[in-house]
Amino acid sequence: MHHRIGFVVGAVSLSLAVVASPALAAPTFGATVPEKAGQNSARVSLRASTPLPQQPPPSRPLLAVAHRGASGYAPENTLAAIDEAHRLGARTVEVDVQLTSDDHLVLMHDTSLDRTTDVAEVFPGRAPYEVADFTLAEIRRLDAGSFFGDEFEGEPVPLLAEALDRLHVLDMNLLLEVKEPELYPGIEHRIAVELARRPHWLVPNTPEESHRLVVQSFDWESVQLSKGLLPSVPHALLGRVPQDRIDEFDWAHMINPNHTTIDAGYVDSVHAAGLEIMPYTINDPEVMARVLDMGVDGFITDLPDVGQRVIDEFLGARDPEAARAHGREPVSH
């Protein structure tokens, strides 16, 4: 297995105050980030101190990231899916975040509510049922579980705040995807404010552990904006960055592409640039094993238990000592 490259993360000084904000200023690195003009708002001041030099750390654990929670077993992007991921032994969960019409951060993958909720029954005639056209109070009336199974009837669409709190209680990590940020101007600032209310999420894990929080998006400009607001937090580019452009994104920590777009040479190029790589979304054990052979740092899957079993088998077959270092006994064959 390759030796993963560690990232130097400076200590972060954070202050959180509630003040009246007359205008929404465009924040810069280390600037104050207000929530919304004309409202009492939490302001976040994030300053990165001088980074401390570190020796290259041991490899982080290989991860089977639970996609939208354990979405193969529970309704995606719900607290039930997070709970199921925990029950199945996942270390890290991936969820998607969007904004309601009254600027609340909620978990939802599609920009429309109709695939995973009963919005067409509760609000007939409101098509195309865009998340951005509904208030939080309206979205709270929806059933986000029955589409998956009757046993999840009444499961609500959660707030990002609720997901952050649940993950903290469960001692789990998070890949937070910002969905379609061009539809929600200022969403990066709102996410920064929400995280600042929960400073646990801004403190990096040790280099030997999985990342506590990674913010990612297919919109790479949004990712860079978020990185400026949250300098202590690793950020990832979703999608395949052209191989000859990888070095342009030295401010990022990960590139997470579709697994069908990569090979071992691409993985080597990502690592040579000092970045990690976790492709998505893989549910076939043979494909999981194939990308592990390429040298990836993990992968995103709807079936985190299957993914972890494949990782255990991979570690046991390739490096029994690495398997023990990850807290697992080698798998005998």
Catalytic positions are 67, 109
Cβ 116 vs Cβ 108: under 8 Å: yes
Cβ 62 vs Cβ 288: under 8 Å: no
Give dist(CA 183, CA 236) in Å, integer.
20
Give dist(CA 163, CA 144) in Å, integer.
15
Give dist(CA 152, CA 103) in Å, integer.
27
Q: Is 164 helix (H, G, I), strand (E, B) or coil?
A: helix
Do strands 213-217 and 254-256 pair parallel, antiparallel, or not at all (unpaired)?
unpaired
Nearest 10 degrees: Cα torsion 177, 181, 186, 187? -30
Nearest to 24 by CA among 188, 176, 178, 194: 188
Give dist(CA 210, CA 217) in Å, integer.
19
Nearest to 132 by CA among 96, 102, 176: 102
Residue 289 CB-density burial (10 A; 0-12 exposed, 13-18 middle, 19+ buried): middle
Give dist(CA 311, CA 317) in Å, integer.
10
